[in-house]
Structure 1
Amino acid sequence: MSSPGNQESQLGQEPAGQSEESHRFTGKKPDTGVPRAPSMSDLSRATPPNMAEGERVQEIGCEPDTSGQDKQRDLHHIFEELEKKIMTFVNNELQRFKQILSPDYQENFEMKSEDESDAREGALKMALQFLCNMKYQDLADKLNENEMDVCCQNSLKRNLKNKYQVVFEGIAKQGSSVLLEEIYTDLYITEGGSGKVNEEHEVRQIEYRSKRPAGQDKPIKCADIFKPSPHPGKTIRRVLTKGVAGIGKTISVHKYILDWAEGKDNKDINFIFPLCFRELNLMRENECSLMDLLQHFFPDLKKLKSVSLDKHKVLFVFDGLDECRFHLNFQRNESLTDMAVMRPLDVILTNLLQGNLIPSALLWITTRPAAASKIPPGCVDLVTEVQGFNDSQKEEYFRKKINDDRLASDIISHIKSSRSLHIMCYIPVFSWIVATVLEMIYSSEHKQIPKTLTELYTYFLIFQSKQSNIKYGMHAPEAEWKKPIKPLGKLAYEQLEKGNLIFYEDDLRECGLDVKEAADCSGLCTQIFREESGIFLGTVFCFVHLSVQEYLAALYAVLSMAIEGTDIISLDSAPPMTESLINLHKSAVDKSLAYDDGRFDLFLRFLLGLSLETNQTLLHGLMSRGQRDIKVENQNQANDETIRYIKDKIKQASSPERMINLFHCLNELKDQSLLEGIQSFLRAGASSPGQWSALVFVLLTSDQNLDVFDLKKYIRSDEALLRLIQVVEESHTTLVDSCGLTEQSCAALASLLNQNMSKLRKLDLSDNCIGDVGLQQLCDGLKSPNCVLETLRVKSCGFTEQSCTEVASVLCKESSQLRELNLGGNPIGDEGVQRLTSGLKSPNCALETLGVI
């Protein structure tokens, strides 16, 4: 065996017969034909990972000693310590290299340090050189390749961590930057469903979802979407996550990636490559290979060989399929298996999804529901859906967003009092808008709280305009900050017709909009318009939320009519103004009804809401310039005609969705006859399932007090109660006396009393033929520990002494909160009263009033 000195003398010598192929692990060919061995000066410059720079300087850079003998002794001590540290470092690195070369090194992948000091690089070069000299070229190649994989992974993790640990709330770049960990609130995500297209408008989906009975969905944690399936033989490789705009799909992706980059979760994944379609769109005309694509977005992967991806667990994340502007032709695209072959982008993506390219790779695609059908069901193993905030998460968000606890409590109370706002706050971006507006209003002296959706968005536009003036130091007159509104509205309307949510510079120029000029003018664009620049790519734009785009599109329609007398929907321009305004409203109603996907539903609500004087006043005269001002009396006349037109359309509506949006429109116009009209409409015999659904929805989303629900206002029947049971859930007092009910209704009421968050305190069932069966079913609900009912009236309900035993058992329950019970008018006799006695004598009985006559 050679001595250490002989080994050192061999460094730099090339073994006989060594070919040029042996140098491929170095990345370049040195003049000597082998990797350059580190010199002592290299090692002296290197700082081992476990030694801080200050420590090295402290030990080596001591102040000179005037005594030569002391200096020599100190130098000897220094090099003894240096030898120990070098040997410890080298031994640690050799152990790491051994792990990298072990067959199960992928399991040890996460153990690699992120430190890439010169010393570590020098140790690798030494190991490679010695392996070459020992004629273990294959091990040298494998070590170098695996070490490059480790370096690429560590570099990727650091970059992804830096990118995703900070988020911008509301508006990218211009928004307030906060740490993701500080504001992130778990979202409710469910498993199941299909990848087929969903035709419902996004706001409509979230409104329905908020009222869907609990237990219908299977919740799943975002971090677990690729975990082993509970179904034997099924592998989860391709996941499609749906969710409406602004509901938290992208933030969920960022949290997943951040947790991986920080080593908190999914440690078995070696590489994650997040790509968003809004950036991929800008490469749609180019051909590239898969490796070219990855190295374009992740330059640190330049050292990673394409063959390396096959042996690692890799996750591709494609965010925003709904923003994809190129075809994904799964049927006609050629099959592709080589990662180095150049092809159009859609060919690469379809082959990834079909499993031709990197068959073992995981794929995660996020999309709005309407675009889900772009991916064939056969290319999806699991569908998940982001449902947004639940009630507790909404409250948690507002308390994080608003620093003043008292102010936060006031705002939360207001949101809870407005069912329409409360439901919409399931969407995180909408919660941000609501918090922004209400915090401004509650903090000012003028506390005119918005009651409708249009009022809320009008306040939002005003607030952002004023904030932009302050931010940019403009303090310009109102005419200045209003300049970009019309071209923004034109862009919003034209792109809404095309179904586009993201735009490019050409789209903006076509509408006469220069974002930089608008920003210089007022900054308004930077407050409601989002600008994002991709890596080495162009710039894409979008509004902060789809609803903002719909609001501005409606504002553009109203402005065009008010200033120019032009109906942009029907393209008519004819005086008098009142007639033109009515025509605009009718055109908008017809346009909304013509789109089955609900694309213009919210647009219509905003358009009608902006016709009210209150909203025009809020906009400080924006819609009253020029000679074509709309007079107040003309507005009222036009609105009255519009209300009649909408009510006629309600009678003709073929689906609950159509009716529901039209009901919303009446609410925006503040039509006070809304509920009365619905009630008379139903009493007249129009009682299809769709119409009942519409009634339930309007009752639940209206701001009218539902503390007392009286079925007699509608139709007196079991069917009516069962159709309106969701409304009963929201009431404290339910009056269903003399409604012709049977035991069929009692089962539903018992189920309601058994609910965890039951609100029902008073129930009057008198004068209904529920009989013994019905009362006994009701007692099942009364026995539930969740039941909070305090008053029960069942006079003249046709039950006998048989039911009194069940009633007595209810009174014996410790959880019973009954204070008033009226059983009068029923043939229970003395025996029935006797059976009640056991319950009345129970120490748990809380009854204060009992009626038996």
Structure 2
Amino acid sequence: MDCPAALRPRSTMDKAAVLAHILRSKGKSTVVGGALPVSVISSNKYIAGAQGTEDDWSSVDEAIHTALAGENRAVVLVGAEGSGKTTALKNMVVDWAKGQRLQSFSHVFCFQFSELSSLQGVFSLDTLIQHHHSHTPAASIQSLLQEPEGVLFLFDGLSEYKHSLDPSVHILCSDPSQEASVSCLVASLLHGSLMKGAAFVVATRPTESLEFLSGSRVVEVLGFLKPQREAYFNGFFTDPATAKKALAHMERTVGFYDFSTSPRFCWTVCSVYKSVLDSGAELPETLTQLFVEILVHLLPTLSLGEASNRELVLALGKMASRCSLGACSGSAKEQMASFGLQQFVTSVDEFLESDGCVLSFHTRLIQEFILAICLLLDKSAYDGLEKRLAEHRRGSKFLDFFLSGLSQPLQRRPLEILLGEFNSEQIEEFKSWFESDLKATLQGFHKDEHHRCFHLLHQAQNDSLVKEIITSSARTAISYGGLSLQDTVALNYVVTCLGEMETLNLYNTRNLSEEPAQVLAPAMSHSHVINLSSSSLSAGAVSHLASALSRGFTRELDLSNSQLGDEKLKILCSGLKDCKLHKLNLRGCRLTEASCEDLASALSSNMSKLRVLQIFFNELGDEGFSKLCRALHGPACKLEELQVQRCNLSAASMKALSAAVCSVQSPLRKVNLTQNHIGDRGVEILFESLKHQHCKLQSLNVFDNEVSGVSCPHVREALMSEHCRLSELDLSVNDVGQEGALQLCQALGRPGCPVEKLGLRRCKLTVPVFKELGSVLRSGTCGLKSLTVGLNKVGNGGVKHLWDALLHPGCLLEELDVEMTGLTDACVEDLCAAIRASGTLKSVELRNNSLTDASVPALVQVMQDSPNMLEMNLKYNDFSEDVFEMMEACDKIRY
């Protein structure tokens, strides 16, 4: 859009006046206040990013200009404190005045909401503009108001405005000469009734006040992301090595906080770091230490002396206290005397900024730091520290952090040189509260509160304090999944102070990226158990995990349901080849045949100590599983337990497994093949290997594997073999049937049969089978201690054979599962007699039967009378609530 011809000559003169006005520096640059916007613009250091990520960002100017070029020329600029919003607006005015950008506008007017807040009475739009832009001739303003499409209004600091701009609370005006309150004029401008067609940009911190501007285009000011921080540090320090060192240190210590994106904060850090590096001292490690350095850098420049320094800080503390308790950002200038600041008029600029008639701290951080100092410095002003702290914590985010750091002698000592000794009683009161509060919090189960404790300990930088507060009972209670980057820093500090962690519980950590994983790597290497189940990890995060495993002493790692995938597993396996890991859970990690070669390579490493591999619910297939089995032959493989449930295996890969378990070098003791498809042929191959003299297999689970009674003769022969060591066998949910089960009974009754635990749940067993099982249990030669025969509908008559067997002294059963076998109250007399007679029975599973209230008195009584019995499960029977209290009286009954 071109500028109206009639206005061009006048506009040129106006631009010169505007440029001269805005480049006339007001105030001064300060350590905590940052460089003035004009200085930033003049030095070409204005590089704040907007609307994007570290890899996809644009400058604030570009984003605003793009938004203004659209049909809706209303832009809301949203960003945190110190992110560069004010500089962005002033830069827009400078660009316009220099003729570089925004030339479609005949004039640009910039207003500060803090100044508008102080205006009383009524104004017309032209008088309001003249009041704030006296450098612009009145004749120009009158002409401009007739051409609204050529005017751009910039409003800075909406979140600081005290009055409502909601159109529903004003009678909006449309005439520029009409007088109204300032809030009504601004509301009329923003909502288009006044100067309709004009463009505007409103800058604000995130606030609910944006709701009534919902139709505007929002541009988010991101401040300094990593690329911009790097550019800024390189520009600040003349030596590239120093710039690199300073940036790396900031990123490691405070770069993970949100405020590190603030250009103002980066100015502060660079200023302090330069001073520290020039003196040859160590750079600060925490936020508290950084702000101690800020004051150590700042106070000597005021040349006040110790007594005056103390008096100034205490006066600032009174103002900080009022701002905190009132949840406000500043105080009226006339209140300076009440705080004791009037005598320090020439010094307060280093701490405070002035907007009209309101004074406020340059940042909330310096406000809270000054408050923390005063709470520990002067007891007379703050009786009852704990009460005062509770009052202030509601309006402060980092007060606890600063108090924690300042309570430590080494951290506050540089300030005591400048301010005098802190009050010892106040410090001891805080430390007493601090320790008891943290200990109590860590006994609870609120993750966020645990994180807060870790942050406070991190600020304290006291290893012995960490060991005193973080007891063993507080180390494994809850999951710390979903950590922010700053949380990982604090948690890592705590774990490394402790020296070791039994369980680092990171369950359900979503999107664990490389940076937090790198921070957590030392903590991982110090943890005996790492739980990352149901988490999602980037490739970079997996790389740091692998490195931590190879360096540390982790013995268990749970990555179940982490959707790891083949490529990330390859990265993980680099750490598995040389680590102390004994147990690895890869359940449901979307692994395929491609992963098996990497796992096989890791298992074959001479340095691998892996004993248990849980890799079930993955699509390994026969080819993949066969590759894995070949690693079990090697002399280096130490695997004792292999869980491959539901991995799409068939009989085709059982030869490879059979060869592995028969190997003289294989230590394999336990294999779980649940819910595969090995069938009768697979069972035949496997049980043939059990006869081999070198086979060490002690536990085999073929639950739900499409097996029938045809396989049972092979099972019988294997179990009767002199070399068979199988003590646990689960054939549940297979078509074993009566004939197959009777074959098994022949082996079970043979003297020397090693089976102690047998699973035959839902195997189509009949009453004759139960009769034979009862006979075998009574034989005195059967070593069965655990028998599961639930979900076989044999009723009271079938299960009676097992009750009768328990009456016999030769029966060694300790656990009996007869869930859903069709039992009724009629069996209770036999059941109770069996329990009383057995000297070995410890638990009975009776779920999902048809027992009623009538059975309960006898069952409760027998459990109370039988010291051997530990548990009876009666869930899902036909009980009414009338007997719940009776069953609850016996803590050994589950109902």
Which TM-score tier does this pair reach, normalised by the shorter chain?
0.5 to 0.7
Which residue, 184, 188, 192 being the options, matches 2:49? 188
Which residue, 472, 488, 491 being the options, matches 2:319? 491
The answer (yes or no) to whether the contact 1:339–1:357 under 8 Å persists in 2 is yes
The answer (yes or no) to whether the contact 1:425–1:431 under 8 Å persists in 2 is yes
Alignment match, 2:575: 791
Alignment match, 1:600: 396
Matched, 1:342 2:161: no
Alignment match, 2:347: 524
Give per-residue Cα distances to partners, 1:150-175, cap 9 Å, x unaligned: 34553455346635899946577997
- Residues of 1 paired with 2:498 and 2:73: CA distance? 50
Give per-residue Cα distances to partners, 1:527-567, cap 9 Å, x unaligned: 223346xxxxx555332222111222222333331xx2x42
- Aligned residue for 2:51, secondary structure, equals strand
| Aligned AA (2:140) | L
Shift in Å, 1:356: 0.7
- Residues of 2 paired with 1:177 and 1:305: CA distance? 25
Unaligned runs of 5+ in 1: 1-105, 110-142, 192-212, 470-475, 533-537, 573-582, 813-818, 837-848
Matched, 1:227 2:45: no
Give per-residue Cα distances to partners, 1:165-200, cap 9 Å, x unaligned: 999465779979845253524223227xxxxxxxxx
| Aligned AA (2:567) | D
- Residues of 1 paired with 2:252 and 2:34: CA distance? 34
Between 1:340-349 and 1:643-652, the stretch displaced more is 643-652
Shift in Å, 1:810: 12
| Aligned AA (2:293) | Y
Q: How many residues align?
A: 616
- Residues of 1 paired with 2:373 and 2:558: CA distance? 55
| Aligned AA (1:518) | F
- Residues of 2 paired with 1:742 and 1:488: CA distance? 47
Alignment match, 1:412: 247
Aligned in 2, Cα 1:411/1:512: closer, same or farther, shift over 3 Å?
same
Shift in Å, 1:487: 1.7
> Percent of pairs identical after alignment?
18
Shift in Å, 1:341: 1.0
When the two chains are superposed, the root-mean-square deviation of aligned CA atoms in Å is 5.1
Flag the structure with larger Rg.
2
| Aligned AA (1:336) | C
| Aligned AA (1:668) | Q
Shift in Å, 1:406: 3.9
Alignment match, 2:200: 363
- Residues of 2 paired with 1:266 and 1:789: CA distance? 57
Give per-residue Cα distances to partners, 1:392-425, cap 9 Å, x unaligned: 3223222222334443333233323425677653
Which residue, 626, 639, 644 being the options, matches 2:431? 639
- Residues of 1 paired with 2:532 and 2:367: CA distance? 50
Aligned in 2, Cα 1:604/1:804: closer, same or farther, shift over 3 Å?
closer
- Residues of 1 paired with 2:539 and 2:497: CA distance? 16
Alignment match, 2:300: 466
The answer (yes or no) to whether the contact 2:276–2:283 under 8 Å persists in 1 is yes
- Residues of 1 paired with 2:3 and 2:540: CA distance? 55
- Residues of 2 paired with 1:721 and 1:179: CA distance? 39
Shift in Å, 1:376: 3.2
Matched, 1:590 2:407: no
Equivalent residues in 2 for 1:418-433, closer than 5 Å = 418-419=253-254, 424-433=259-268
- Residues of 2 paired with 1:823 and 1:153: CA distance? 79
Equivalent residues in 2 for 1:755-774, closer than 5 Å = 761=547
Give per-residue Cα distances to partners, 1:439-472, cap 9 Å, x unaligned: 2222125x25433322322221222121232xxx
Shift in Å, 1:611: 3.2
The answer (yes or no) to whether the contact 2:292–2:415 under 8 Å persists in 1 is yes
Equivalent residues in 2 for 1:223-622, closer than 5 Å = 223-225=62-64, 227=66, 235-283=71-119, 285-298=120-133, 299-304=135-140, 306=142, 308-309=144-145, 310-369=147-206, 372-419=207-254, 424-445=259-280, 447-469=281-303, 477-514=305-342, 517-519=343-345, 523-531=346-354, 540-561=358-379, 564=380, 566-567=381-382, 572=383, 583-584=384-385, 586-592=386-392, 595=394, 599-620=395-416
Alignment match, 1:840: none
TM-score calculated relative to the size of structure 2: 0.58
- Residues of 2 paired with 1:252 and 1:804: CA distance? 55
Alignment match, 1:664: 455
Aligned in 2, Cα 1:303/1:442: closer, same or farther, shift over 3 Å?
same
Alignment match, 2:11: 150
Shift in Å, 1:708: 13
| Aligned AA (2:489) | L
Aligned in 2, Cα 1:267/1:850: closer, same or farther, shift over 3 Å?
farther
- Aligned residue for 1:728, secondary structure, equals helix
The answer (yes or no) to whether the contact 1:171–1:527 under 8 Å persists in 2 is yes
- Aligned residue for 2:434, secondary structure, equals helix
Aligned in 2, Cα 1:660/1:763: closer, same or farther, shift over 3 Å?
closer
The answer (yes or no) to whether the contact 1:238–1:363 under 8 Å persists in 2 is yes
Equivalent residues in 2 for 1:40-119, closer than 5 Å = 107=2
Matched, 1:630 2:424: yes
Aligned in 2, Cα 1:400/1:754: closer, same or farther, shift over 3 Å?
same
- Aligned residue for 2:23, secondary structure, equals helix
The answer (yes or no) to whether the contact 2:33–2:350 under 8 Å persists in 1 is no
| Aligned AA (2:226) | D
Alignment match, 1:714: 503
- Residues of 1 paired with 2:606 and 2:98: CA distance? 59
Equivalent residues in 2 for 1:831-842, closer than 5 Å = none
- Residues of 1 paired with 2:555 and 2:593: CA distance? 16
- Residues of 2 paired with 1:617 and 1:352: CA distance? 54
- Residues of 1 paired with 2:530 and 2:39: CA distance? 59
| Aligned AA (1:280) | L
Between 1:732-741 and 1:218-227, the stretch displaced more is 732-741
- Residues of 1 paired with 2:136 and 2:323: CA distance? 37
Which residue, 778, 784, 805 being the options, matches 2:565? 778
| Aligned AA (2:488) | L
The answer (yes or no) to whether the contact 2:2–2:103 under 8 Å persists in 1 is no
- Aligned residue for 1:714, secondary structure, equals strand
Aligned in 2, Cα 1:166/1:641: closer, same or farther, shift over 3 Å?
closer
Aligned in 2, Cα 1:550/1:444: closer, same or farther, shift over 3 Å?
same
Query: 1 or 2 for the larger relative contact order (CA 8 Å, sep ≥6)?
Result: 1
Alignment match, 1:133: none
- Aligned residue for 1:601, secondary structure, equals coil
TM-score calculated relative to the size of structure 1: 0.60
Aligned in 2, Cα 1:762/1:614: closer, same or farther, shift over 3 Å?
closer
- Residues of 1 paired with 2:349 and 2:625: CA distance? 75
- Residues of 1 paired with 2:434 and 2:139: CA distance? 66
Give per-residue Cα distances to partners, 1:127-161, cap 9 Å, x unaligned: xxxxxxxxxxxxxxxx7x43455345534553466
Aligned in 2, Cα 1:554/1:147: closer, same or farther, shift over 3 Å?
same
| Aligned AA (2:129) | L
| Aligned AA (1:443) | D
Unaligned runs of 5+ in 2: 629-635, 640-665, 667-895
Aligned in 2, Cα 1:681/1:403: closer, same or farther, shift over 3 Å?
farther
Alignment match, 1:648: 440
- Residues of 2 paired with 1:708 and 1:268: CA distance? 61
